[in-house]
Structure 1
Amino acid sequence: MDFETDRRQFLELAGTGTALSLAGCSALQDDAAQQTTTTGAGESGDGSRRVAVTVQPDQQKLQQRRQEIQSELSSGNVSRSEAQQQYQTAQQELLTQAVDSFRQRADSTSNLSVVGAVEQFGIILIAGAPAALIDSLSFETVNALLPQETFQQAKSQAQQGSGTGTAGSGASATAVGDSTETPSS
């Protein structure tokens, strides 16, 4: 079982590395093209860029909580629906902790700032120098580096979900602190 976890982590890292190498090549081409054009949607007036990052909850803590809930379910202390709700709540709490952890680390990093977050999905919009954005991948909770538009999509989906009451208890279903300059906002 431990082997499978290590293998999964390796494959995730390998996939991220491949995606970054491809993104890096195209980013260099994009940089050259953008030097001759006006400021793009992912770039602010000061030359910094904006991208979305996704974070994941602490997998060890999540697994431990899952085992505790499974034990409660097996002993008949909770129903299946209560167990599912407890697990979703635990997952959301750990995701919120991962977002907070990222914010704290970003705040202590020069050339990197958090612009907004959709905690429900663990997606954060960050701004900074291109090198600082890439360096954010070294933060232990970061799972992916994505285009800024992905954050906007997550924000829209979270706002739609909060209107219908689909968010679980304790889940943040709204975007926190978004100051992007997009026409759709």
Structure 2
Amino acid sequence: MTVAQDPDDGIVPRLETSRLLLRGHRRSDFTESAAMWADPKVVVQISGTPSSREDSWSRLLRYRGHWSWLGFGYWVVEAKEGGRFLGEVGFADYRRAMRPSLEGMPESGWVLKSAEHGKGFATEAVSRILDWAGGRPGFEKTVCILAPEHVASIAVARKVGYAEETMGTYRGQPTLVMSRSDPAAPDVTGSMPAR
């Protein structure tokens, strides 16, 4: 079977920071992504269970589907210098069966290879996608969910403007729900907030 090269289809915008390139996923990213999601150090405070190759493949397909159907999704986080795969960051609508409901609010998420933890890449990447989302319809409020003991990700969330909202429950586990209002969004009177 012949498989076409990954097209630069223009659906996923390319974003940059001083150190990072955020771009759409390609089939060629599968090996790196699957290895990251299979690393117990990466998933210990996400799901607690390393992902199978099948689970990782399904995740990549969901990422692409988000962009096609919803106009937002996940990016690959790549080092500008050397082009190495660092992780993934983005927004999703997973339709999670959880309390409280996240219905209607894009959910931000981030994950990095364990070798890249503690270097500021997550904060840099999440800040950039929040800049991209700023002022876009539907992004007036975004949320993120975290294990209450995931101190590093809670710190990232706080640095980029998320605040604790409530303790929820997802899949029978306590889950911290944090939210962030877009400072560029009009307030309820329709005027822009002071800067």
Looking at both structures, which has the greater relative contact order when contacts are Cα pairs under 8 Å and sequence separation is at least 6?
Answer: 1
The TM-score normalised by the length of structure 2 is 0.27
The TM-score normalised by the length of structure 1 is 0.28
> Where is the strand percentage greater, Structure 1 or Structure 2?
2
Task: Flag the structure with larger Rg.
Answer: 1
> Where is the helix percentage greater, Structure 1 or Structure 2?
1
